[in-house]
Amino acid sequence: METKKNTFSPDAVIFDMDGLMLDTERVIVPVWGRAGEILGYNISQDVILKMVGISSENARVVMLDEFGGDFPYDQLREKARGLYKKEFEENGIPHKKGLICLLDHLAAAKIPLAVATSTRKATALEMLRMAGIVERFTAIVGGDEVVNGKPAPDIFLLAAEKLGQPPSACIGFEDSPAGLKGLCAAGIRSVFIKDLIEPPREVLTTVWRRFDDLSEAVQLFV
């Protein structure tokens, strides 16, 4: 748990979605493996983890680099999406620990919120509705709304713009190395909450604050 005294009061907050607010990556990662098996490919978890937090097009590059230019990425993505959508429809989408506590606190403080996710916007809206939190956000930006996905800063800059705030007035919550890199490049203070991946040291040196779960981050807004 972070114990540094907070000396910055943000005017807006930007959240990643998968693995940060929604506990989806633990479902999605093995689903990609099952989708690969259906199509006749053995996709290791190490390869799948390289796709966490990045855009669909950047994920395509990862898979083509691993399996060659004729790899059926679009077919794999649609197969995986169908499998995890079925899982979420049957079992719901769980929140990450402390999410509602933090969102309630930010609502009481009247701090505007945005989502900046590599997931396509239509899918993100669907997942946030299923999780019961879509109405919490002033703006929702999907990976298909920017040319360059995470780790580029584009999606965070667009989210800040939609919130009507300069990047320097915002903070961003992320769980992935790509997202943390994007926040740094955007000039937005980053808050890291670990999910599946511990970022490399050079990424961690850019992090403004780190907490074990979202409820601990309430201290940033008191």
Answer yes or no: are the C-beta atoms of 190 and 156 closer than 8 Å.
Answer: no
d(CA 66, CA 69): 9
Give the pLDDT confidence score for residue 141 in this predicted structure: 98
**H-type helices in 22-142, by residue range?**
25-38, 45-49, 56-67, 73-91, 99-108, 121-130
* Nearest Cα residue to 21 out of 98, 106, 123: 98
Containing 116, the helix (H) or strand (E) segment is: strand 113-116
User: Could you give all domains of the chain from N- to C-terminal order, each with its CATH number?
Assistant: 12-23+94-221 (3.40.50.1000), 25-91 (1.10.150)
Distances (CA, A) of 76 to 33, 38, 126: 10, 9, 20
Residue 5 confidence (pLDDT): 56
Taking CA atoms, 128 is separated from 24, 49, 207, 220, in Å, by 11, 22, 26, 24
What does pTM read for this prediction?
A: 0.88
- pLDDT < 50 stretches in the chain: none
Q: How far apart (Å, rounded) are the C-alpha atoms in residues 79 and 44?
A: 17
